[in-house]
Structures are given as C-alpha cells and as structure tokens.
Structure 1
Amino acid sequence: MNKNKIILFVFYTIMLLFLASCSSRKSPAPVVDVQGSIPLSKKIRNSIKATQYIVKKGETLYSIAWRSGIDVREIAKINKISPPYEIFPGQKLNLTNKFVPSVKKTLQKGKTYTEKPKVVKKPIAQIKNQAYGKNVVDKRIDINQKVRKWVWPTKGKVITYFSSTQQISKGINIAGKRGQAVLSTADGKVVYAGDALSGYGKLIIVKHNDDYLSAYAHNDHILVKEQQTVKAGDKIAKMGSTDADKVMLHFEVRFRGKSVDPMKYLSK
C-alpha cells in the first residue's frame, strides 16, 4: 500500500468514526421547571429577587408578592398601601425595609437620634380572619383551622409532588383532560387572574384569609374575575396547557408568603 492510499484510509476511517459518534450521541435533556416543563432559566427570571420593583401592566400586589415569596401584608406595610392594595403600572415598590426612611427625634438637650420604624406584631390569639370576619385563636397546631374546608382543585393523578428542597417544585401537578373543571380549594376572593406571570400560563390566585393563598396555573380558560368571591368547590377555570408541554393543573398553597405542601391540606 503506497503512501497516498494510507493517507486516504486514515482519513475515511476518522470520518466514519466521527459520523458514528454524532448519530449515536443523545442531546442532554434540558433542565425544566416541574410547573409545566418550562426551562428553569425562565422560572428564575420570573422570580423577583431585587429589593425594589417597578409594577408592570396586569400585575397586582398579590402577584408581585407571589413572585417574590413575601407576605403581601409585609410589602403593603413597607410601602404604606392600604387594603384593597391597589397599585398602578410604573409604581416603584420597596420589597425591603432598607429604603424606608428612619424617624429622627430630638432629645431634651437639643441632640437628635435615629429611631428605626417599629414593627407591630399582633398577638397570636387575636389574629383577624378577614375571610370570615371574626377573630380566631391560632394555637399553631392545626394548620387547617383558619380555613373551614379544603377540597381537591380537580380530579386526576398527581404526577409531581411538592419538594421543600428543590426551588422549582413548590406545588403539585395534577394530570387531566383539556377543559376539565378546576375548582377553588376553599372559600375566598380572587386576587389575581391573568397571564402576566411567565411560566404559569393563565393563572388564578385566590386569597382564603390573611395567611393562606392558593394558585391554579396552566389553565385553558379563566372563568372568574379579580375581586370575585368564590366558595370551596366553585368552578373557576378550565384545565389546559398554557406555558406547559402537557395538559395539567399546577396547584400551589402559600402560608404567609411561603410555599407549603398542598397535600397537607387536601384529603387523602
């Protein structure tokens, strides 16, 4: 075998090996958000980590609190916003006390000192339950005691469960059929209904009382409006796949702004 033939043989051998490796290689599965197989990077962009935020069209104080993981009452207090917490596009919100000006007081000798704003906490036994218009005793034993009734938000198999360790799994996913009824899990008021939260599709957030919120994502059609009162079991949406790769309901529960396992509230 002459030199030219050897070179050609080596060249074709290398090319065949290269093509074989390309055809057998599998692309790595993208990192996805369990809320609906949305890229994780998109979910991260949807979260608010800044200390200040500019309100965008279609947002409510509840949707902003949801994204930031902060109790809506805390944001309202920092920004001196009274119920029903009306905000407007372009409004700047502080998400931390860092930007709240301190109060200067004058001592008798003419000197001044700085006093930080005081945080007034309500006694646990006298927490106001706005959903039912009466005071209730919170013994921190029964997590359901401030909500009269919890019902399943839809029928179907739970395909993804809550995780306290994974940032992207803060609720449950329930498989179903397009158009299937989505129900309010408890009595309350709709505080957000729209599609401004990327990664959730057509989303509904219901306030059940001062402490509890629930969310219903990826709906095909929203059947309620903001500020509408709903009862446990009321049909509020039709199941869909908006911002998801399959038809399902993503369901979350928040307690004082923090994600909690919905399965602790729903009957087995």
Structure 2
Amino acid sequence: MARLISPLISLLLAALLWSCAPHKGIYHTVEPGQTLYRISRSYGVDEKNLARLNGIGDPTQLRAGQRIFIPGATQEKRVGTAVTTAQRPAPPARPSASVSAPRPPPAPPTAKPPPTRQTPPVSRPPAASTVGKGHFAWPLKGELLKKFGQQSGGTNRGIEIAGGKGSPVHSAASGRVIYSGDGIRGYGNLIIVEHDDNFFTVYGFNERNLVQDGTFVGRGEHIAAVGTPPGGGASRLYFEVRRGKETVDPLFYLP
C-alpha cells in the first residue's frame, strides 16, 4: 500500500527546480575556508537570519560542500575565504649589517651527543560526517505498524507508525518544505522536506498539513496532524526516507 509511485519522483524533481527560482533565492555551495559571516556579507543578508533559515545552530561548523539557501539572491557570488596561519606570507628576513664583526676564535671541539630519534607525527585524515543512527528524529512516537521492505502484503517503501488522530507530526530534521499538498494519489495530505546530504523525508496520511511549500522547518518542529489512510483504517503516519531518488530504511537513521 505504502509505495511511492513514479509521479512522486517527477514531482520531487520539479519541486526542486521550482525551489531554485530566482525570485525565491538561490543555494550557495560552501567552499573550504568560507564562513557564514563572509557569506552573509557577500550577499547582504543578516548572518543570524541566514543561520535561522538554514537551521544552522553553530555557524562555525559549516562544511565544505554544504548548500546554504540565500533568500532574495539571483546568482551565486564570489565569497572570500578566511586566511589561515599557514596561508599568511612569511615576514621578510632582516638585512645583514654592512660591516661584518670580527669572527671569534674557534671553540675547542666537543663530543657531539648521539642524535635522538624522533617519531614523525602521524597525520590523521579529517573525520568524515557520520550518517546513521540518530541522523533523523522520530516524527511520531507510536507502535510500528508496518516496516520497510518486502512484506506479506507487498513492498513497503517506508514505515507506518500508529498515532491518535490529530496527534502532532514532527519534522525528523531541519530542512526546507518542497511539497505540501494532497495531489499524490494514495497518500492523502503529504509533506516532503529536503535536508542536507541529498536526503528527503516524506510524511503521509496527514489529517492536515501545517506548513507550506518553501517553508524552512527545524528538527522536531510541528508540521502536520496524524490522519487516516485514504483507503480507511486506523489513524497512522506514513514516513519515508529518501537519499536522492532511492528509498532507504528509515529505521537505520532513527535513534
């Protein structure tokens, strides 16, 4: 029953293209050494507002390759990078005196101590961003009615979680709503949220949606109310996780 048909992929891609329209803003891809402060100055946007819109709790923890949404911008601008100590030019050497002092008499030779062996420092690669348990939060606390994958009734591309009708549905992570509506048959009121690292989360069977297309939501934010499947049955939430176009098991990313 819970199977996201191919029109959703087309809709998702179309929504992504729509989300990049010039009158809405653009995405800036962070390059090594760039800071949120420099990005905000380059685009003339308030740094705190930019952090809030993109769900950034700590502006100092930007990652190279991270996409930052710039509201009102029409084209990507050149952003300077912070100069590190290693990048700063070394100060010029002092010029030697024009008159050289007389050389002192040579000192008597002394026995040289044996050289000490020094262990070269081990360079460790930078820690990669881990994506796994706890990457997303549970959108609803309740009994797991259907699991991901092949089941007796067919293949599930998501999970279904029991919940009282009207109970709050929460965003599993901060991101941008790219679809909110009931135009996809079989899922009732549906919400799709785009996150970092090419992730998307899908929330279906909602009694009502509380967010609109283009809205930025935070992790744990109330975005919908639990409803019932269009075909009837007990109230529940349909929850799906996608990485790109591929559906993945949500339980792998939930705590």
The one-letter code of the counterpart of 2:221 is D
Cα distance change on mapping 1:197 and 1:218 into 2, 3 Å: same
The one-letter code of the counterpart of 2:66 is N
* In 1: Cα distance, 2:18 partner to 2:185 partner: 27
1:197 aligned residue (181, 184, 207): 184
SS of 1:192's equivalent? strand
Cα distance change on mapping 1:174 and 1:64 into 2, 3 Å: same
In the other structure, the counterpart of 2:66 is 129
In the other structure, the counterpart of 2:6 is 47
Residues 131, 188 of structure 1: 8 Å contact kept? no
In the other structure, the counterpart of 1:12 is none
Is residue 2:151 matched to residue 1:159?
A: no
- Give the Å deviation of 1:153: 0.2
The one-letter code of the counterpart of 2:10 is I
- Give the Å deviation of 1:128: 2.2
More helix by proportion, 1 or 2?
A: 1
For these two proteins, the number of residue pairs brought into alignment is 158
Residues 65, 257 of structure 1: 8 Å contact kept? no
- Give the Å deviation of 1:64: 2.2
2:10 aligned residue (53, 60, 64): 64
Cα distance change on mapping 1:65 and 1:196 into 2, 3 Å: closer
- Give the Å deviation of 1:252: 0.2
- Give the Å deviation of 1:83: 5.2
Residues 165, 225 of structure 2: 8 Å contact kept? yes
1:143 aligned residue (114, 121, 131): 131
- Give the Å deviation of 1:262: 0.4
SS of 1:64's equivalent? helix
Identity between Structure 1 and Structure 2 (%): 30
Is residue 2:221 matched to residue 1:266?
A: no
5+ residue gaps, structure 1:
1-32, 36-42, 49-61, 67-71, 87-125
Larger Rg: 2
* In 1: Cα distance, 2:69 partner to 2:174 partner: 9
* In 1: Cα distance, 2:68 partner to 2:247 partner: 20
- Give the Å deviation of 1:192: 0.3
Aligned residues: CA RMSD: 3.4
Query: Residues 246-257 of structure 1: matches in 2 within 5 Å?
Result: 246=233, 247-257=235-245
* In 1: Cα distance, 2:168 partner to 2:162 partner: 12
* In 2: Cα distance, 1:226 partner to 1:252 partner: 18
